Amino acid sequence: MTAVLFDFSGTLFRIESTEAWLRAALDDAGLELAAPALAETAGALERAGALPGGAPPSRVPEELAEAWETRDESSALHRAAYTGLSRQVSLPDAGLHDALYERHMSPGAWSPYPDAAEVLAALRGRGVAVGVVSNIGWDLRPVFREHGLDRFVDTYVLSYEHGIRKPDPRLFGVACAALGVEPGRTLMVGDDRRADGGAKALGCGVHFVEHLPVAERPDGLRPVLDLVR
């Protein structure tokens, strides 16, 4: 393998918990909820699927079905889908729905998996090209910069910047072209068997990791180093 492509959420990074997400937005707005109300509201937001990178919605309202299906194809659709889900939940201030969306894009809302830096640095040391291919509606580059991982990434291919999303093989093709590598010598690493598995149609190898909390997956990325020997 001469290149490795990584998914973002659930693969290299994990979003904060729904309760921490809500608490941070409340703090920024100078608002408070008592502990029972905080837990209840966070639970409602989680069931609604309002946190990008968090749990999927238990039900997508009919009026949001189209935006949800195409949410990763543009920044406007992504915001509309997730703030629409958030608005299914009553919050102490209407402005919190947009504040929550803004919060999830901040570097502080994301934590790298414990072995992410080690694996990316090892790949760089071996001369293996690295790309990030993500279904997303916003620019994740600041997250990598803030956590010191940007120096290991050679290219970012983000669905909203191309109007196509995984599993469409064209998105993986964009990444391979940007890195100047052959798909047959490229490994895609991700946590979504359908979306990330789309790289197989291009001829890439595929390796899956479990989408778990950071503390529960200390070394899930290390097998990648054995696959590119």
pLDDT tens column, 117-129: 999 999 999 999 9
pTM of the model: 0.96
Neighbours of 145 (CB within 10 A): 13
Last residue of a domain, one of 80, 109, 138: 109
Same domain, 45 and 140: no
Structural domain span for residue 197: 3-14+110-227
Same domain, 184 and 119: yes
Same domain, 117 and 96: no
Same domain, 75 and 131: no
Same domain, 10 and 20: no
Same domain, 7 and 119: yes
Neighbours of 57 (CB within 10 A): 18
Q: At what angle do helices 75-86 and 35-48 cross, to 10 degrees?
A: 130
The strand pairing partners of 206, in sequence order, are: 188
Same domain, 105 and 63: yes
Same domain, 95 and 145: no
Same domain, 140 and 118: yes
**pLDDT value at residue 185:** 97
Same domain, 90 and 119: no
Same domain, 116 and 182: yes
Q: How many structural domains comprise the chain?
A: 2
Last residue of a domain, one of 76, 109, 142: 109
Among 52, 105, 110, 50, which residue's Cα sits nearest to residue 83? 50
Phi then psi for 187, rounded to 5 degrees? -110, 130
Q: What is the pLDDT of residues 134-193, one digit of tens each?
A: 999 999 999 999 999 999 999 999 999 999 999 999 999 999 999 999 999 999 999 999
